């Protein structure tokens, strides 16, 4: 193994030695604790320390690194106290996630580290968002993100690199190729000869290096990071190494041929670097044991101190409160004047005003820039705000959603348009497991609004017509809104953008050009979580939202002799239980109406809650009127039959007759 000192002095080389020995000794202590039964799980990076340590030492302290579960050296090279790391691994209060997540699944702004989630790959898109924020802010910084050879088969890997390449983002994508994804060999993972060859397909530079050579890793990352800070662009690095322990200790290594252990033992990054320093007369042989004797007591003390920390005392209210970043909607000066606006124009108005109010707000979506979006919501925005803030994206929803989280981590807001709400399914993991959980896990809010053009009525068929709000209303950490009027479309969108939490904003395509109403001028906000009583009544209550409000109003107009209370929820997560309960108590009869399919639709949650809270006030069973439990057909007749409105009169008659 050839080591190149270049311009590193002896003190620096010795400091590098201490930096690589420290995580090795910590790991050896963890394996002892595991055998003793004092810890329950460990993902070992023994044999791979040169990658974590060398790359981290090459990055500037204020540059973000996104490591994985085998990168202890990243955390130690950033000087995170072992006490806090051990507390994190043991779920103690002195850790970084309040006992809510395991191992390295955490982030810390103080040390500029953003940990992974168990779904390998999503952190790569987050890195692109962090880098994008640096570019937009004019900061000459690089971002480093790790992935494994197995995760390069995932869509997130390809989407993130493609976005970074198209946008010239200063990201170093580092692959740790250690030969195995759990027990699956690289030969079963990909067909290309080298993973770094994939760089050519994305038009970026790629390098394959010896991942066990500390100085080669350091010099390569240092050189590239220095360059891409000045000339932003992504690069792909493949670090060749070997995993000498199991995927985690319980899985063992019986599937690995024995000769590989002997081959790679000779390439051990710690002992090889140690021998190099000795050969070069930089390190005295006696200093090896001296370094170990210096570090081991410190490790023992820090570990024991963390193990002796008391268990976290569970508190229900604390857990509930921490799902969201606390936020109070600032009162806006509302102009008393209003103007008739179409539903779609009200949405455009909200976006335009918010872009002016928040200079660090970025819009992202397919065809939203020069073309103005398929529904022309952002028509003209690029001319006013520029391409940097109104960004056309490649067809890669998952990467863009992950980039939204990265932007939030690095101080920006974003509004991401799904061209159709149906298409959000390919970015589901980023929303459900990354955006929704980041604040609860480590206190990082996801300041992201996802616009969802939804709903039927236009003959668009099964893949452009779903009202899929129930996919998200059961996920803590998300807020979900669904306006039914132009005024609420504006007010809820401005409130969603002001809110630092992730908000799923449903907008009904059928209403874009068919509904016009008065909309307040200037800044206008509707509080998320507050319902609106659309009409007062005493005979029956209809609880609804979205297009269902129009159906309810049409029904009430057709039957003027009925006194109907119509409650527009407007927000579905959180939803206004108090307003719904008051409506039930007032009339004793309630119909829950929504466009989504009946089975497991959000109406089931409403009905269950009202059954628990209002049983003594009911004069009839709570009834639901929803769309058929089928996919949405294209044919006009079939679509009409599918929609809940086709059964509204029947269900109301049944309810009133009871």
pLDDT given at position 230: 97
Of 326-340, 418-432, 607-621, least confident by mean pLDDT is 326-340
629-646 pLDDT per residue, tens:
999 999 999 999 999 999
Question: What is the C-alpha to C-alpha distance for residues 412 and 189, in angstroms, rounded to an integer?
Answer: 36
Does pLDDT of 331 surpass 80?
no
The residue among 304 and 246 whose pLDDT is bigger is 304
Q: Which token pair is 34?
A: 């595991």
pLDDT given at position 192: 86
Does pLDDT of 444 surpass 90?
yes
Structure confidence at residue 94 as a pLDDT band (50, 70, 90): very high
Question: What is the C-alpha to C-alpha distance for residues 629 and 397, in angstroms, rounded to an integer?
Answer: 27
Determine the length of the chain: 658
Does pLDDT of 335 surpass 70?
no
Q: In the 8-state DSSP scheme, what is residue 529?
A: T
pLDDT given at position 24: 96
Q: What is the mean pLDDT of residues 251-259?
A: 76
142-177 pLDDT per residue, tens:
999 999 888 898 999 999 999 999 999 999 999 999
Q: What is the mean pLDDT of residues 21-46?
A: 90
pLDDT given at position 333: 62
Q: CA angle, corner 420, sides to 234 and 511, nearest 5?
A: 140
Q: What is the mean pLDDT of residues 323-350?
A: 89
In DSSP terms, 449 is beta-bridged to 415, 503
Task: Name the residues annotated as catalytic.
Answer: 464
pLDDT given at position 59: 98
Does pLDDT of 248 surpass 90?
no
pLDDT given at position 556: 97
Does pLDDT of 2 surpass 80?
yes
Structure confidence at residue 190 as a pLDDT band (50, 70, 90): confident
Cβ-based neighbours of 188, under 8 Å, separated by 6 or more? none
Q: CA angle, corner 221, sides to 219 and 222, nearest 5?
A: 60
Neighbours of 83 (CB within 10 A): 18
H/E segment holding residue 612: helix 602-614
Structure confidence at residue 622 as a pLDDT band (50, 70, 90): very high
Does pLDDT of 200 surpass 90?
yes
Structure confidence at residue 306 as a pLDDT band (50, 70, 90): very high
Alpha helices in 524-575 (DSSP H): 547-558
Do residues 534 and 485 touch, judged by C-beta distance below 8 A?
no
Q: Which token pair is 136?
A: 């937009």
Q: What's the chain's average pLDDT?
A: 94
463-517 pLDDT per residue, tens:
999 999 999 999 999 999 999 999 999 999 999 999 999 999 999 999 999 999 9
Does pLDDT of 436 surpass 70?
yes
Q: What is the mean pLDDT of residues 265-282?
A: 93
Nearest alpha carbon to residue 454 among 491, 413, 415, 425: 425
Q: Which token pair is 547?
A: 């297009």
Q: What is the mean pLDDT of residues 254-262?
A: 78
Nearest alpha carbon to residue 489 among 519, 468, 510: 519
401-427 pLDDT per residue, tens:
999 999 999 999 999 999 999 999 999
pLDDT given at position 332: 62
Does pLDDT of 388 surpass 90?
yes
H/E segment holding residue 470: helix 470-473
Structure confidence at residue 103 as a pLDDT band (50, 70, 90): confident
Q: Is 266 exposed, middle or buried (0-12, 13-18, 19+ CB in 10 A)?
A: exposed
H/E segment holding residue 655: helix 648-657
113-149 pLDDT per residue, tens:
999 898 888 999 999 999 999 999 999 999 999 998 8
The residue among 559 and 187 whose pLDDT is bigger is 559
Does pLDDT of 250 surpass 80?
no
């Amino acid at each position: 193994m050839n080591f190149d000192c270049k311009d590193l002095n002896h003190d620096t080389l010795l400091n590098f030695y201490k930096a690589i020995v420290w995580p090795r000794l910590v790991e050896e202590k963890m394996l002892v604790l595991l055998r003793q039964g004092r810890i329950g799980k460990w993902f070992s990076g023994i044999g791979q320390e040169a990658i974590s340590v060398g790359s981290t030492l090459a990055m500037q302290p204020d540059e973000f690194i996104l490591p994985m579960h085998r990168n202890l050296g990243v955390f130690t090279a950033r000087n995170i106290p072992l006490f806090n790391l051990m507390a994190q691994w043991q779920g103690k209060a002195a850790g970084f996630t309040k006992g809510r997540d395991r191992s390295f699944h955490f982030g810390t702004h103080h040390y500029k580290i953003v940990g992974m989630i168990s779904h390998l790959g999503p952190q790569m898109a987050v890195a692109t968002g962090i880098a994008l924020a640096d570019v937009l802010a004019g900061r000459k910084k690089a971002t480093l993100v790790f992935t494994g050879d197995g995760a390069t088969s995932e869509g997130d890997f390809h989407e993130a690199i493609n976005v970074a390449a198209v946008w010239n983002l200063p990201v170093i994508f580092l692959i740790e190729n250690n030969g195995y994804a759990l027990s699956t060999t690289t030969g079963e993972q990909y067909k290309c000869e080298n993973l770094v060859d994939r760089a050519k397909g994305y038009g970026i530079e790629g390098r394959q290096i010896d991942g066990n050579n500390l100085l080669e890793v350091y010099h390569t990352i240092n050189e590239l990071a220095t360059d891409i800070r000045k000339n932003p662009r992504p690069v792909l690095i493949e670090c060749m190494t070997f995993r000498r322990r199991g995927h985690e200790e319980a899985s063992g290594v019986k599937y690995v041929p024995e000769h590989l252990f002997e081959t790679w033992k000779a390439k051990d990054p710690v002992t090889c670097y140690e021998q190099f320093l000795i050969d070069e007369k930089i390190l005295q042989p006696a200093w090896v044991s001296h370094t170990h004797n210096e570090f081991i007591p410190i490790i023992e003390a820090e570990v024991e101190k963390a193990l002796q920390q008391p268990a976290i005392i569970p508190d229900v209210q604390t857990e509930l409160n921490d799902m969201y970043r606390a936020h109070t909607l600032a009162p806006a000066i509302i102009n008393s004047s209003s103007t008739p606006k179409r539903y779609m124009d009200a949405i455009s108005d909200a976006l335009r005003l918010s872009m002016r109010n928040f200079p660090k707000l970025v819009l992202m979506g397919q065809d939203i820039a020069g073309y103005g979006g398929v529904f022309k919501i952002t028509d003209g925005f690029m001319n006013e705000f520029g391409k940097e803030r109104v960004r056309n994206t490649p067809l890669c929803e998952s990467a863009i959603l992950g980039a939204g989280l990265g932007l939030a981590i690095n101080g920006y807001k974003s509004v991401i348009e799904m061209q159709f709400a149906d298409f959000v399914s390919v970015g589901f993991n980023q929303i459900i497991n990354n955006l929704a959980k980041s604040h609860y896990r480590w206190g990082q809010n996801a300041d992201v609004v996802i616009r969802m053009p939804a709903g039927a009525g236009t003959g668009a068929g099964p893949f452009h017509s779903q009202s899929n709000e129930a996919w998200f209303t059961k996920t803590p950490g998300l807020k979900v809104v669904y306006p039914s009027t132009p005024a609420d479309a504006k007010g809820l969108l401005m409130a969603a953008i002001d809110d630092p939490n992730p908000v799923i904003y449903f907008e009904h395509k059928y209403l874009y050009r068919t509904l016009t109403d008065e909309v307040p001028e200037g800044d206008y906000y509707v509080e998320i979580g507050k319902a609106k009583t659309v009409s007062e009544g005493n005979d029956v209550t209809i609880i609804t939202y979205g297009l269902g409000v129009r159906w309810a109003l049409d029904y009430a107009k057709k039957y003027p002799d009925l006194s109907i209370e119509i409650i527009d929820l407007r927000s579905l997560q959180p939803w206004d239980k108090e307003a719904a309960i008051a409506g039930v108590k007032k009339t004793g009869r309630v119909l829950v109406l929504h466009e989504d399919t009946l089975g497991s639709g959000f109406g089931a949650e409403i009905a269950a809650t009202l059954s628990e809270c209002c049983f003594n006030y009911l004069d009839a069973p709570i009834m639901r009127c929803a769309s058929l439990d089928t996919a949405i057909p294209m044919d006009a007749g079939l679509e009409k039959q599918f929609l809940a409105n086709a059964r509204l009169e029947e269900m109301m008659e049944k309810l009133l007759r009871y």
